Amino acid sequence: MIVALAGGVGSARFLSGLLDVVRPADVVVVGNTGDDDWFHGLRVCPDLDSVTYTLAGANNPETGWGLAGETFTTLDALRRYGVPTWFNLGDRDLATHIFRTERLRAGVPLSTVTGEITAAWGLECALVPMSDDDVRTIVTASTPDGEVDFALEEWFVRERCEPPVVSVRYDGAAAARPAPGVLDAIARADAVVICPANPILSIAPILAVPGIRDAVAAHPRVVGVSNLIAGAAVKGPADRMLADLGIEASCVGVAAGYRDLCAAFVIDDEDASRAAEVEALGVRTVVTNTLMTDRSVAAALARETLAAVA
């Protein structure tokens, strides 16, 4: 059984490869919920939905978010009411948020609703939110008006990642409990994979839920995958924001953040020259192609990732 800690789009792409090389029923994905937010009174879970839609083969590969062939009729109609519509919510995607919100308001935990959603999309692996409790990733960034706290999607989408990051915190994490089954799955897993994802925005919130970091640290076969290639993020602001936070924006910097968790770490061929530095952190290093241009590359990457801790 494999546990995978996952963020959004990049993680989802990796997971689609993973499910090609291991039995889907043997995979438990623990998803980040730090950027979950309310839009128009609806609960939106961007990372959980990216994983669900991608694994269902329904994601939009061009935008990197949302569903393929999506329309935006309701969002356009909402503009009439003068509400902020900077967060793109497609008509079909809205059905997910409407369903989830109704269930949550009925008192059903997020982990249960997430299971209902993934079942409706035919997912064969388990997708579990890191916690049923609210955790909010807050990006404190420097603006012309001074330092401002942004919810993650505000900074990411509305502000287009432009305000330089001063610090990141995870509001609510200290009081959050891991979702049912998360700690047990980690303890029983044959391997724990940290998917390629922004370490500060996608993986750190998961690890900030009390109990999860300790469970991962206690596991002997944890393998991480770098989300950076030659110091640059394939998608998203990871490189610049890491630099803003004083972390080296490279596979070495990312590996350093995971050194007390990972037995092995996977870096890209383009970073082969940095392998010795990663090894020097005490982490077995695998060098391979991590640029998941298609599903067969993702599957090969997943195979090599698992082999590193076999």
**Signed CA dihedral, 18, 20, 26, 28: sign only:** positive
Residues 27-66 binding its own copies (CB under 8 A) are 40-42
Query: Which of 102, 184 has the CB closer to its own copies?
Result: 102
Helix (H, G, I), strand (E, B) or coil at 259: coil
Q: What is the C-alpha separation between 307 and 80, in angstroms, rounded?
A: 54
CA–CA dist 279, 282 (Å, integer):
5
The torsion angles phi and psi of 286, rounded to 5 degrees, stand at: -115, 130
Interface residue with its own copies, options 96, 198, 250, 285 (CB under 8 A): 96
Using the rule CB under 8 A, which residue among 116, 147, 184, 294 binds its own copies?
A: 116
Return the number of the residue (55 or 301) whose C-beta is nearest its own copies.
55
Extract the tokens encoding 275: 């392998």
Verify binding: residue 121, its own copies, rule CB under 8 A: yes
Options 45, 48, 51, 117; binder of its own copies; rule CB under 8 A = 117
Q: Rg of the chain over CA atoms, in angstroms?
A: 18
Q: Which amino acid is at 292?
A: M
Is position 81 an interface residue for its own copies (rule: CB under 8 A)? yes
Among 22, 68, 98, 297, binds its own copies (CB under 8 A): 98
> Near its own copies by CB under 8 A, which window of 23-31, 94-102, 157-165, 220-228?
94-102
What does the alpha-carbon distance between residue 6 and residue 32 come to, in Å, rounded to a whole number? 6
> Is position 87 an interface residue for its own copies (rule: CB under 8 A)?
no
How far apart, in Å, are the Cα atoms of 95 and each of 58, 82, 108, 122, 165? 14, 22, 17, 16, 33
Q: Which amino acid is at 261?
A: L
Alpha carbon distance, N-terminus to C-terminus of the chain: 12
Q: Does 160 bind its own copies (CB under 8 A)?
A: no
Instruction: By CB under 8 A, tell whether 99 contacts its own copies.
Output: yes
Task: Select the span of 16-24, 101-109, 173-181, 292-300 touching its own copies (CB under 8 A).
Answer: 101-109
Q: Which is nearer to its own copies, 85 or 289 (CB)?
A: 85
Give contact residues for its own copies (rule: CB under 8 A): 40-42, 71, 73-78, 80-83, 91-96, 98-99, 101-102, 105, 116-117, 120-121
